[in-house]
Amino acid sequence: MLTTQPIRGHNELRETEGPVSEHTARMEHPPGSVVLQDAVAGYGTRKVLDRITCSYAPGQFVMVTGASGAGKTTFMRLLYGVVRLRSGEGFVDGIDLRRLWPWQVSGLRRRLGFVFQSYELLPHLTALENVRLPLELAQWSIESPEDVAHHALRRVGLADLADRRPDHLSGGQQQRVAIARAIAHQPRILLADEPTGNLDTIATWQVLDLLAELSEDGMTVLLATHDATALQHFDGEVLRL
């Protein structure tokens, strides 16, 4: 599944986003793909990921699982540019992680979507403002951040709750706002680190269904989870760490 769906609306932006764009032309690592080869990463002297190899095509839905401390979060943070690649190779959305300088990290993040376990919403902003503010501050080329934010909230089924602040939303609703924020700029890849970790069963399935829909629309989704039930009902690719 290649990235030619209508959901891709910012190719022009990507082509002009600076030093990282040269790598997008690499056909062996097409936009929307995630490729690691013998990747090593960790914190300080501690190796958390040791020679990880995996390759996911654009539009694939992948669950990343493993015991506590196995490195699920580190894996996600490596792909998101929070943790540096120590050795091996890594390509995310066509970007070579080995050549990612610290000042280019925010450029990588603007191309991806990330959903956190703890939602990471700004408490003093409404749901709409939480989605709109990153668009205004990070995505210059979007002409009407307000409309795009509304569209993203509709996409996650929260159009009616756009004016509520996070403390007036349930955990599942907050996570859907976080997903709306992550997908508003229509990234090719969505990374979700334990997005259902704080949710009840119904909210968990709502979030998982939503992520599956996004994958069906052509978005590559990597979901880190230790939820056994979710894994049992999942028939796609699983990366065990």
Partner 1 sequence: MSSASSPAFARKVGRQLNAVRRHALSLLAYSWHWQRPHLISWAGSVIVVGSLMALAASVQLTVTLVGGAVEREMQSASQIQVFLADEAKPEDVSALTAQLKAMQGVKGVQYRSKAEAAKLASQDSQLAPLSNGAQSNPYPATLVVDVQDPAVGGRVAEAAQKSAAADRQVPVSYTPEDARKLSRILDVLRFGALALDLGVALVATMAALRLFRSEARARRQELRILALVGVRPTVLRAPLLFQALSVALAASALTLLALWWLGTTLPKGLSYALPFLTLSHPLIAARDIGLVTVVGSCVLLGSSALLVRVPK
Query: How far is residue 82's CA from residue 55's CA, in Å, rounded to a whole number?
Result: 20
By CB under 8 A, the count of residues binding partner 1 is: 27
Site string for partner 1, 108-137 (x = CB under 8 A): xxxxx-x-x---xxx----------xx-xx
Nearest approach, Cβ of residue 107 and partner 1 (Å): 8
Angle at 147 (CA atoms; ends 11, 155), nearest 5 degrees: 80
Nearest approach, Cβ of residue 174 and partner 1 (Å): 13
Kindly state the helix (H) or strand (E) to which residue 135 belongs, with its residue range.
Answer: helix 127-138
Q: Which of 38, 140, 201, 216 binds partner 1 (CB under 8 A)?
A: 140
Residue 59 is classified by DSSP as T
Nearest approach, Cβ of residue 135 and partner 1 (Å): 9
Whole-number Cα distances in Å, 12 to 70, 77, 91, 204: 38, 26, 20, 35
Whose tokens are 């703890």? That residue is: 118
| Tokens describing residue 180 | 């709306």
Strand-pair category, 87-92 with 34-43 = antiparallel
- Using the contact rule CB under 8 A, the part of the chain among 88-96, 103-111, 158-166, 196-204 near partner 1 is 103-111
Task: Return the residues of window 146-185 that contact partner 1 according to CB under 8 A.
Answer: 181-182
Query: 87 in helix, strand or coil?
Result: strand
Nearest approach, Cβ of residue 235 and partner 1 (Å): 31
Q: Closer CB to partner 1, residue 44 or residue 102?
A: 102
Residues in contact with partner 1 by the rule CB under 8 A: 80, 82, 102, 105-112, 114, 116, 120-122, 133-134, 136-138, 140-141, 143, 145, 181-182
